Amino acid sequence: MNQAKETQSGQPQPRHVKMPIDTSRLLSALALWLGLLLPQSAGAEDVPSSGGDVIDMIKTLIRFDTTNAPGDTRPVAAYLKSVFDAADIPNETILAPNGQAAHFIARLKGNGHERPVLLAAHTDVVPVQRERWSVEPFAAVEKDGFIYGRGALDNKGSVAVYAQAILKLARDPSPRSRDVIFLAEADEEQGQYNTNWLADHYWDKIDAEFSLNEGGRTVLGSDGKVHELHVTYADKLTLNLKLRAHGPSGHSSRPIPITNSANGQLISALVKLQSYETAIQLSPEIRSYLDKTAALSSEPLASTIRRLLAANDEAAQLAAARDLIAKDPGGWGVEGLLRNTLVVTMLNAGQKPNVIPGDAEAVLNARLLPGVTVDNFIAEVRKVIGNPGIEIEIVSARPKSEIAGFYAMYSQMAPSNLHTALFSALQDSAGKTWPGVTVLPTLLVASTDATPWRRRGVPVYGIGAVPSDPVSASRIHGDDERVGIDALRQGETFFYGVLKTVTAPSPAKTP
């Protein structure tokens, strides 16, 4: 799961590497070429072409070091190609101009009476600090009922579960009313050749009636069962801001008043921002989510949520919100559901201990609620800082001429419609896989690569493809990331049920 996704334009023409099943010479040459590029942690001779079961697959995927940067996902694409070729499912790999970001697309054909359903998951992962891990991060170590490795939950577990569910569906002789598209993406964690780039150049290959992506939570209880399925219908907008302060420079033996120095001005601004509380904003959707959460919660959490929902003035609402945020039940980032958030993530000032720097910078990461405009939020930040001498700049990979248009589009992007055949299939399969489960539509406090579909009006539902306990969920992007073995099998069963339902021909459309 990344921090921001933005469409790129004006890029060099991509290379399209299409790999038909019946072109043996091309396959052989490509397999040899990619085999030379496989990391030592997973050589070509170690990759099972059949894919095995979901446990075999997740282990193989983890052993490919697809850390981004550089984000070389070619070995994963080659492996998935071998698996889907063995199942006679048409597929292709689209290689970005950088020669490393490889998007794998497979399409299980239906009868075409209804538009396709898309399952998307990314194959690149964030870096690791090896010295902080208790196991080798790319060895897929199995212990205590878990498989450890970078990407186990974010997001190679989803890749394995989706792939296995589609392979199982392919073995089912029942007719299918629609195609099932499987997209194993590149450059989700960072990089310009992400799904926005893919959609700009190859939209016809990933266009669908609706889609599944990462973002939600499938909560695994202490009893090993899933009682809550949180499905996201929208993402918060990610906004990175750079604050830059200027002041006189000089020798450290001649102090400059801290209020005049670049460091002093920046520190003052950051202290004000870190102590500032943005307004609590409860949309109808979040109110509904909290109301359902209260019904599932024990005391005193349930009473805290109800007190927030019942607050009839700003002071009472803020007090209840503070109480709920302090509890943060299950570590699910409740503060992000209630307000815009802003945190300091990077600092840069000075080159030597005995030199007072003339410039100081900080990067802040903001997550904005749907409907909040970037211009209004930056104006709010300026007012809190109260120092016109501090520059505020949007940090973006996009050309400056496109930044305003992109954020205007994002702030106006409608949430995904919950009244679709796919959402109904999610509810149906969840009830069969985990009897008594409660499905909770909610907002994702982070961001995903669902934007290219949502901006084109395609509903996208963020979902935790693999059930996870709170400890495992907390390790995403952290040390000793892990995924439960039984949880993987539950995820495969659940998504097979989803696909079975959503591709079943309806009587009205059956000839």
Mean pLDDT of the chain: 90
Model confidence at 193: pLDDT above 60 = yes
The CATH number of the domain holding residue 358 is 3.30.70.360
Could you tell me if 211 and 94 lie in one domain?
A: yes
Confidence of residue 271 (pLDDT cuts 50, 70, 90): very high
Among residues 411, 428, 450, the one where a domain terminates is 411
pLDDT tens track for 405-428: 989 988 889 999 999 999 999 999
Could you tell me if 355 and 465 lie in one domain?
A: no
Closest CA to 349 of 340, 335, 341, 360: 360
- pLDDT for the residue numbered 2: 59
Could you tell me if 241 and 316 lie in one domain?
A: yes
Model confidence at 9: pLDDT above 60 = no
Between these two residues, 49 and 235, which has the higher pLDDT value? 235
Could you tell me if 323 and 189 lie in one domain?
A: no
Could you tell me if 379 and 429 lie in one domain?
A: no
Among residues 357, 382, 411, the one where a domain terminates is 411
Confidence of residue 42 (pLDDT cuts 50, 70, 90): very low
Could you tell me if 206 and 330 lie in one domain?
A: no
**Lowest-confidence region among 121-130, 168-177, 396-405:** 396-405
Q: What is the reported pTM?
A: 0.85
The arithmetic mean of pLDDT across residues 3-24, rounded, is 41
Among residues 411, 433, 463, the one where a domain terminates is 411
Model confidence at 82: pLDDT above 90 = yes
Could you tell me if 366 and 420 lie in one domain?
A: no
- pLDDT for the residue numbered 51: 61
Could you tell me if 202 and 263 lie in one domain?
A: no
State both tokens at 184.
């194993």
The arithmetic mean of pLDDT across residues 177-206, rounded, is 96
Note whether residue 1 is domain-resident.
Answer: no
Note whether residue 7 is domain-resident.
Answer: no
Note whether residue 207 is domain-resident.
Answer: yes
- pLDDT for the residue numbered 327: 86
- Residues 88 and 93: their CA atoms lie apart, in Å, by 15
Number of domains in the chain: 2
Note whether residue 168 is domain-resident.
Answer: yes
Note whether residue 14 is domain-resident.
Answer: no
- Residues 190 and 69: their CA atoms lie apart, in Å, by 7
Between these two residues, 174 and 48, which has the higher pLDDT value? 174
Instruction: Give the 3-state secondary structure of residue 309.
Output: helix
| 8 A C-beta contact, residue 118 and residue 208 | yes
- Residues 122 and 477: their CA atoms lie apart, in Å, by 14
Could you tell me if 211 and 241 lie in one domain?
A: no
Confidence of residue 13 (pLDDT cuts 50, 70, 90): very low
| 8 A C-beta contact, residue 226 and residue 437 | yes
Could you tell me if 356 and 375 lie in one domain?
A: yes
Note whether residue 230 is domain-resident.
Answer: yes
pLDDT tens track for 330-380: 666 899 999 999 999 999 999 999 999 999 999 999 999 999 999 999 999
Model confidence at 77: pLDDT above 80 = yes
Confidence of residue 105 (pLDDT cuts 50, 70, 90): very high
Note whether residue 2 is domain-resident.
Answer: no
Q: Which domain holds residue 204?
A: 24-235+414-504
The arithmetic mean of pLDDT across residues 42-57, rounded, is 62
- Residues 279 and 414: their CA atoms lie apart, in Å, by 22
Could you tell me if 317 and 353 lie in one domain?
A: yes
Note whether residue 3 is domain-resident.
Answer: no
Could you tell me if 221 and 366 lie in one domain?
A: no
- Residues 409 and 395: their CA atoms lie apart, in Å, by 17
Model confidence at 44: pLDDT above 60 = no
* Cβ neighbours for 508, distance < 8 A, ≥ 6 positions apart: none
**Lowest-confidence region among 56-60, 223-227, 440-444:** 223-227
How deeply is 434 buried, as exposed, middle or buried, from its count of CB atoms within 10 A (0-12, 13-18, 19+)?
Answer: buried
Between these two residues, 225 and 483, which has the higher pLDDT value? 483
Residue identified by tokens 């509890």 is: 327
Buried b / exposed e along 198-230 (16+ C-beta atoms within 10 A): bbebbeebbbbbbbbbbbbbbbbeeeeebebbb
491-494: which pairs have CB atoms within 8 A and are 24 or more residues apart? 491/54, 491/157, 491/161, 491/218, 491/465, 491/466, 491/467, 492/54, 492/161, 492/164, 492/165, 492/168, 493/433, 494/218, 494/429, 494/430, 494/433, 494/434
Model confidence at 134: pLDDT above 90 = yes
